[in-house]
Amino acid sequence: MKTRILHFLGNISANFWMIPLFSLFIGAGLAFLNFYLDKTLLARHIEYPDLYLYFNNSQNIRSLLSVSATSFLGVAGVSFSITIASLTLASQQFGPRLLRNFMLDRFNQLVLGCFIGTFLYCILLLQFTSSMDLEKTTPFVSMIFLLVLIFINLLVLVFFIHHVAVAIQADTVISDVDKELVAQLLKLFPDKVETDEQPIKLKVPSNIDQKFEKQGKEVFAYNSGYLQALDIDALIKCGSDNKIALKIIVKPGEFIIKDSLIGYFLNRDESDNEDAVKDQINSQLIMGVKPTPEQDPEFAIRQLVEVAVRALSPGINDPFTAISCIDRLADNIALLMGRQFPSDQHVDDSGHLVLQLKPFTINGIIEASFNQIRQHGKNDIAVTIHLLQTLHKLALISNTSEQAKAINKQTRAIVSEQKTKGLSEYDSEDIKHWGDKVESVLKEKI
C-alpha cells in the first residue's frame, strides 16, 4: 500500500497543473477574505489614509481591476507561450524524455499560478464592487492587497524571463538531471558499504534458479506497458500467505509485453489456488505508459546518456556536452561503488525464500551509462580518450571484483573498436596508453 501511495503522489507531483490549480483556490480565498474584512471588520475600526479617497471611487476601482485582470491574463498567455517554446527547443536539442524535467520545474508552475490567481482575484473583486455604492463599502484592504500582488507579479515576470534563459542551457539541463539522479540513488541505495560487515547468509539452495525454471509455475503478464514499480511488501506477503517461493524476472524500467513471462513460483505444499496466486502477483505490478524514476536507478542515467548521444549526432556535433555528461555519470557510478546494493532475495521468519527479484547490478549501471556513448562516440577521438580517462579514475576507486570486471569490459570494448580505425599514430598511442593504464590498475583487482 505504501508503494502505491508513493506512486500516486509521484504522479500527482509530476503534473504541471498542480500549483496553478492551488493558486486559483488561494486567489479566490483571498478575494473573499479581504472583502469580508473590508465590509464587516476593518471598515468600522480603521481610519484610512489619503489613499482612501482614490479607493472610495467605484469607477476608479473597477478600472484598476479591469486593467489588472486583462493584463495578467495576457501575461499568463505570454509566459505559457514562452514555456512551450522552451519545451520545444529542449525536446529538439536534449530529447523528448527531458520534457518531464521542465514540467516538474516548480518555478514555471509558480509563475503561471501567480498570474492566473491574480486574474481570478481581480474578477471576483469586480463582482464584489457592484455593491459598493449601495452598501457604502470601501474595499481598501482588498485594493492594497491588489497593489502588492501587482508588484509581486512584475518581479516574478522578470525572474521568469531570466529563469527560462538559464534553464535551456546545456549545463543547467545536465546539472538538473544529475541532481535528480543523485537524489534517486541515495533513496534507492541508502546504505554505505561497511568493510568489516559480514554478509548475511540466507537459507536458500544454491540451485534455486534451476528449480524455478524446471519445477516452477510460470506467471505471465496480464497487461503490457512499462513496469513503473513493484509493491515488494505485498509480494512478500503473497509469498508468505500462500507458502510459495516467488521469482520475478523483470525489474522497474523494463517494458512488459502482454502474455510474456514475468516470473515463476514454487509451492511448498500441494495447492489448487495457482490462478489466484497469479492474479495476486500481477496485481502488485504497477504498470504505465512510460517509465518513471520511482524504483529505477537507470531512469536518470538514460536521460544523461540521451543528452550525450544527441550531442554526438552529426546535426549537433557538440562533444563538450557529451564530455560533461560522462563526468556526471562517472561521479554517480563512484557514488554507487560505495553503496550497498539491496538484496535480491527475501525470506520469511523461518528462513524460507518467499521472493527473489531481478537485481540492479554495478555492471548493469556501468553498461547503461557508457555503452551508447561508447558506440556513438567512437568516431570522436576526444570523447573516446576522455571516456578512457574516466574509466581510469573509476578503476582507481573500485573495491570489488565485480566493479573491476565491469570497468575492464568497457575499456577493452573501447580499445578494440579503435584498433579497426585508421587513426593517426599520435591518437592510437594515446588510446593505447590510457587503455593500458586502466588494465594495469585493474590487474590486481579482478
Q: What are the residue ranges spanned by the domains of the chain? A: 2-168, 185-189+297-442, 208-288
The pLDDT of residue 43 is 55
Lowest mean per-residue pLDDT among 50-64, 166-180, 330-344: 50-64
For residue 288, list its beta bridge partners: 226
The pLDDT of residue 309 is 92
CA 270, CA 278: separation in Å to the nearest integer?
Answer: 16
Residue 155 has pLDDT above 90, yes or no: yes
Q: Tell me the residue ranges of DSSP E strands in 103-185.
A: none
CA 176, CA 62: separation in Å to the nearest integer?
Answer: 44
pLDDT tens digits, 263-299: 999 887 666 678 888 999 999 999 988 888 888 989 8
The pLDDT of residue 199 is 47
Strand order from edge to edge, sheet including 225-230: 255-256, 225-230, 285-288
The pLDDT of residue 214 is 84
Q: Averaged over 382-390, what is the pLDDT?
A: 93
C-alpha cell at 104: 516538474
pLDDT tens digits, 92-123: 777 776 777 777 778 888 888 999 999 999 99
Residue with more model confidence, 42 or 309: 309
CA angle, residues 166, 162, 69, in degrees to nearest 5: 135
* Cβ contacts of 374 within 8 Å, gap of 6 or more: 384, 387, 410, 413, 414, 417
* Cβ contacts of 60 within 8 Å, gap of 6 or more: 54
String of b and e for 114-141 (b: at least 16 CB within 10 Å)?
Answer: bbbbbbbbbbbbbebbeebeeeebbbbb
Site of grid cell 538538473: 176
CA 139, CA 157: separation in Å to the nearest integer?
Answer: 27
Site of grid cell 529505477: 296
- According to DSSP, residue 82 is labeled H
Cα Rg, the chain, nearest whole Å: 30
Site of grid cell 563538450: 320
- Under the banding of pLDDT at 50, 70 and 90, the label for residue 300 is confident
* Cβ contacts of 142 within 8 Å, gap of 6 or more: 31, 34, 35, 38, 125, 128
Site of grid cell 514499480: 229
The torsion defined by the Cα of 390, 396, 402 and 406, in degrees rounded to 10, comes to 20
CA 253, CA 293: separation in Å to the nearest integer?
Answer: 8
Is the domain 208-288 a CATH 3.65.10.10 member?
no
CA 128, CA 140: separation in Å to the nearest integer?
Answer: 13
* Of 102, 117, 119, nearest in space to 15 by CA: 102
Percent of the chain with pLDDT over 70: 86
pLDDT tens digits, 13-57: 667 778 888 999 999 999 888 888 877 765 554 555 555 555 666
Residue 332 has pLDDT above 90, yes or no: yes
- Under the banding of pLDDT at 50, 70 and 90, the label for residue 429 is confident
The pLDDT of residue 313 is 87
CA 388, CA 428: separation in Å to the nearest integer?
Answer: 13
Decide: 55 and 138 in contact? Cβ < 8 Å: yes
* Cβ contacts of 233 within 8 Å, gap of 6 or more: 1, 2, 3
CA 264, CA 237: separation in Å to the nearest integer?
Answer: 16
C-alpha cell at 438: 586502466
- According to DSSP, residue 229 is labeled E
Site of grid cell 490567481: 117
* Of 224, 216, 280, 215, nearest in space to 250 by CA: 224
Q: Averaged over 407-412, what is the pLDDT?
A: 93
Lowest mean per-residue pLDDT among 240-244, 321-325, 359-363: 240-244
CA 8 vs. chain centroid, Å, equals 14
Q: What is the mean pLDDT of the chain?
A: 83
Q: Averaged over 363-389, what is the pLDDT?
A: 92
Q: Averaged over 326-333, what is the pLDDT?
A: 94
CA angle, residues 321, 326, 330, in degrees to nearest 5: 150
pLDDT tens digits, 361-372: 999 999 999 999
Q: Averaged over 233-241, what is the pLDDT?
A: 88
